[in-house]
A and B are shown apart, each in its own frame.
Chain A
Amino acid sequence: MTSTTAITAQECAAQLANIAGEAHTEVAGETVSVAPLDAAQISQILRFADANAISVTPFGSGTKAGWGNPVAPGIRLSLNRRNSLREHPWQDMTCTVEAGCTWASMQAELAQHGQMVALDPLWPERATVGGIVATNDSGALRLKYGGLRDLIIGMTIVLPDGTIAKTGGKVVKNVAGYDLHKLMTGSFGTLGVITEVNFRLHPAETDARTWTATAPDALQFAEPLRILLDSQMTPSSIQLRAGKLQSALDVRIATRPEAFDEQAARLRKILGQIELSDSVNEVWQARQRLFDHEDRVILKASMLSSDICSVSSELQHLAAKQEFEFDLTAQATGLMTVSLNIPADAVPRLLDQLRSRLRTSGGSVIALRIPESIRAGLDVWGCDSNALALMREIKRRFDPNRTLNPGRFVGNI
């Protein structure tokens, strides 16, 4: 609880225990954790918090809790008792899953029928569906299958005033009413609590192979990448990896077994002089591994696909000149994750440089992890949208008392 909150953490916990049960309520310092059983309890908790000006942070497993601005302590609303795959009508290739279900356990169940949600987010073993959706995470499969916006067909949400609402539905094609699930996706828990998500499914990629090419300077991949993206090949994923002195291009193709040889031959032709070798699935873990060094700064940059090689190469040159270490992965969709080993006081300048480099083509840079010492005064979001006033108005309509994750999102929403 913060100093402005009228009641103490103990009093708050007592109230929440009445709703969710004592066994599911816990006080840790100024934060009260509560794990409600169902949407009705979530609704009650939100109404209580909203009426008492206590902030609420929806919580999955905390893998991305540090993304965005910090939120003052209040109620940590855990979805971990809402953790099952509710329905999997596999012949319809859809599923309904509770927000607290981990990505990997959902996928394991779907795999029993040879299906998947075609997305490869970070930390699937721990990250929950709700958290992945709220942060709009996505990985290398996005090239072929699109992002969460293209995979989510419906949702159940609970608003701060306790309203339980459904949006979309359980069929893939549906244009009835507004698509609130698109608004919720990537809203960082600032508008409502996601309790269930309906996905469209794809056949699992049973026959898939990965090839990797390596070269010192990332710029060497610019032309092959352009040709590959302009070709009629249909890779599921293309990823550029780069560090200070080396870079690699990974390509994953899923097709019928009889088609692989011909696809590999084409790929070789496109890469020309650069050698291509059979590779392993582990290369697709590269983005997640960037987060392993806990002392590193992590940025998420979005750019045109034609820029990923040149931006990587520019970073290589800068790193050589300024003597810092970095590693990055960039998907051919233009989404790049960079892990940097630079002094804290050099972060703001680098962030500015990157932002102005990308801004002209509509790109952006979000600082996912920064040293606490420079957090004050640093804009982690870098949102220069002229629709910010409209976004604030949407927040005001959904959450007039700023109960949900206050301040966490762009423009301190």
Chain B
Amino acid sequence: MLPQSHIDELRSAVGADGLITGESQLQTYECDGLTNFRVLPGAVVLPRSAAQVQAVVRVCARHKIPFVSRGAGTGLSGGALPAAGGVVISLARMNRILEVDIANRYVVVEPGVINAHVTARVAPQGYFYAPDPSSQSVCTIGGNVAENSGGAHCLKYGFTVTHTLGLEVVLPNGEIVQLGSPTLDAPGYDLTGVFVGSEGTLGVATKVILRIVKRPEVVQTLLAAFDSPHAAGQTVSDIIAAGMLPSALEIMDALAIEAAEAAVHANYPVCGGLLLVELDGPSSEVEALMSEARAICSKNGAQQVRVAQSDQERALVWKGRKAAFAAMGRISPNYIVQDGVIPRTALPSVLSEIDRMASAAGLRVANVFHAGDGNLHPLVLYDRAIAGQEELALDLSYRILHLCVDNGGSITGEHGVGKEKQEALGYMFSEPDLATMQLVRCAFDPENIANPDKVFPRTRLCAAEIPGPYTPHPLETAGIAEIF
């Protein structure tokens, strides 16, 4: 618990209406989208300006109180999980779009702005904000920046980092710095690039300069039904090998289709592996590419190939895809959303191995994936009511992550490490790698108060941290050398 004197200081930083200390209200903030971890914070503040954020962080720095920034709390790795007795800084009230510069294709927003609102604001001029996490109608730009969030269309358009030109950040010591700018290549280290994806451990973003993109002239979405996700996966490889860069390439397996159908009636074909291919660009180009993509689907044995005929139909196709996680609730009492990445070519073998591991554990795993960039979202289905099944499911989900690393991939493609995957990070990176990352952490946050005990496998103190000489990673000694 926070001493009363600290609470008083926080109150003078944000005003009485910006401070929450009542236990029942605090409970709203005890977890994010990863609900099996819960911690009650000591206080929640709701600042309205960078100056107020700064005042709060100064209080925290003075008394070494840990703080955790929070956007909409939709994170899936426990990133916004409070520190026990610490302060949660909710950016929800900092939700203004400050500047729109169409001629130079950027906007400046506060961190609490909801992702979809950026597009809504620039749509009348024919622009959009490209990163589109499935949670885009609720998640915030601050959270997106912290997680370097992606979405179905980042295959072509890139991730949050691709679209973040600059930031204003309150550092853990309370200083405010400007990183980057609407222009490129500002002299100095690319600290914007470092901050994006740092999961709230390097400070609080209080302003974000985002790139916006002109809407393509045409967008076409093709649905192709295959017997298995493998055949769909092969098609993805062939499309890429043909030199195309679709805006999205998504695969859903039979279980995921079943769930999505039950939830939103997306009118998907019943099949073992559904492939969505979205192409966009100038109409003459898209037409040429679309017929090529169709041919590749047929060659790989697609039973049905269909192009969404209207904007409504296309929207429905995507609604089904974006609802896939939540829809799992309709076919299983409980489920774990996993997020791993593999090189695209490893798709067939990794899918078979996941099948094998799932049946050995007696569990079902549904698969939804951003196939174009090898980002898997295996959904491990289980029933908490059955004794021991949750542990089995958790174990399976972590083993799937190891499988991704063993295949040259990553433990997370977009959801972040947070609280959930700290140990897995230690599986992916060796000690010297982690110690080097820690140098950055210590430069920004020597007192370790910004979202402490997250991301890294164990708590590290800055002063004592001296990276040692190179020691081979266990995988290298085991002969799977140079895996990442």
- Check B193 for interface membership: any CB of A closer than 8 A: yes
Stretch at the interface among B23-31, B175-183, B314-322, B329-337: B175-183
Chain B residues whose C-beta falls within 8 Å of the C-beta of A29 in the assembled complex: none
- Check A256 for interface membership: any CB of B closer than 8 A: yes
Interface size class of B (residues with CB under 8 A): 35 or more
The reply to whether A304 and B104 contact each other, CB–CB distance below 8 Å, is yes
The reply to whether B414 and A175 contact each other, CB–CB distance below 8 Å, is yes
- Check A52 for interface membership: any CB of B closer than 8 A: no
The reply to whether B171 and A390 contact each other, CB–CB distance below 8 Å, is yes
The reply to whether A334 and B184 contact each other, CB–CB distance below 8 Å, is yes
Residue from B370, B409, B429, B467 in contact with A163 in the complex, judged by beta carbons closer than 8 Å: B467
* B407-446 interface bits toward A, Cβ cutoff 8 Å, 1 = contact, 0 = none: 0111111111100010001001110111111011111100
Residue from A174, A183, A229, A389 in contact with B440 in the complex, judged by beta carbons closer than 8 Å: A183
The reply to whether B484 and A94 contact each other, CB–CB distance below 8 Å, is no
The reply to whether A233 and B410 contact each other, CB–CB distance below 8 Å, is no
The reply to whether B183 and A364 contact each other, CB–CB distance below 8 Å, is yes
- Check A185 for interface membership: any CB of B closer than 8 A: yes
The reply to whether A177 and B429 contact each other, CB–CB distance below 8 Å, is yes
Stretch at the interface among B3-11, B12-20, B209-217, B349-357: B209-217
A322-364 contacts to B, CB under 8 A, are 333-335, 358, 361-364
A185 to B458 alpha-carbon distance, docked (Å): 28
- Check A383 for interface membership: any CB of B closer than 8 A: yes
Given contacts A171-B341, A173-B414, A202-B245, contact A232 B217 (CB under 8 A): yes
* A88-115 interface bits toward B, Cβ cutoff 8 Å, 1 = contact, 0 = none: 0101111010000000000000000010
Residue from A172, A173, A256, A305 in contact with B284 in the complex, judged by beta carbons closer than 8 Å: A256
A263 to B284 alpha-carbon distance, docked (Å): 9
How close is B61's CB to chain A, nearest CB, in angstroms?
Answer: 15
Residue from A149, A177, A203, A258 in contact with B288 in the complex, judged by beta carbons closer than 8 Å: A258
* A371-387 interface bits toward B, Cβ cutoff 8 Å, 1 = contact, 0 = none: 00000000001110111
The reply to whether A186 and B345 contact each other, CB–CB distance below 8 Å, is no
- Check A234 for interface membership: any CB of B closer than 8 A: yes
Instruction: Pick from B102, B342, B344 the residue with the most CB of A within 10 Å.
Output: B344
How close is B183's CB to chain A, nearest CB, in angstroms?
Answer: 5
A85 to B470 alpha-carbon distance, docked (Å): 23
Instruction: Pick from B190, B412, B417 the residue with the most CB of A within 10 Å.
Output: B190
The reply to whether B184 and A147 contact each other, CB–CB distance below 8 Å, is yes
* B234-271 interface bits toward A, Cβ cutoff 8 Å, 1 = contact, 0 = none: 00010011011100000000000000000000000000
Residue from A89, A173, A364 in contact with B186 in the complex, judged by beta carbons closer than 8 Å: A364
- Check A123 for interface membership: any CB of B closer than 8 A: no
The reply to whether B440 and A178 contact each other, CB–CB distance below 8 Å, is yes
Stretch at the interface among B38-46, B66-74, B156-164, B299-307: B156-164
- Check B388 for interface membership: any CB of A closer than 8 A: no
Residue from B181, B215, B469 in contact with A162 in the complex, judged by beta carbons closer than 8 Å: B469
The count of residues in chain A whose C-beta lies closer than 8 Å to any C-beta of chain B is: 94
Residue from A304, A306, A335, A398 in contact with B439 in the complex, judged by beta carbons closer than 8 Å: A398
Prevailing SS type, chain B contact patch? loop
A304 to B183 alpha-carbon distance, docked (Å): 6
A91 to B243 alpha-carbon distance, docked (Å): 11
How close is A345's CB to chain B, nearest CB, in angstroms?
Answer: 24
The reply to whether A163 and B408 contact each other, CB–CB distance below 8 Å, is no
The reply to whether A171 and B161 contact each other, CB–CB distance below 8 Å, is no
The reply to whether B188 and A391 contact each other, CB–CB distance below 8 Å, is yes
Given contacts A177-B437, A183-B440, A410-B187, contact A94 B177 (CB under 8 A): no
Given A39-B470, A256-B284, 13 additional A-B pairs, CB 8 A: A92-B345, A150-B161, A164-B470, A171-B342, A175-B148, A175-B410, A185-B190, A302-B183, A306-B103, A361-B183, A386-B177, A387-B178, A397-B439
Q: Taking beta carbons and an 8 Å cutoff, which residues of A are in contact with B?
A: 39-40, 43, 47, 89, 91-94, 96, 114, 136, 142, 146-147, 149-150, 154, 157, 159, 161-167, 169-180, 182-183, 185-187, 191, 202-203, 206, 226, 229-234, 255-256, 258-259, 262-263, 300, 302-306, 333-335, 358, 361-364, 366, 381-383, 385-391, 393-394, 396-398, 409-411
7 contacts between A and B (CB under 8 A): A92-B374, A163-B436, A171-B342, A175-B414, A183-B193, A186-B185, A387-B178
Those 9 A-B pairs whose CB atoms lie nearest each other, nearest first: A182-B193, A362-B181, A203-B243, A164-B470, A259-B284, A165-B436, A383-B187, A232-B217, A174-B410
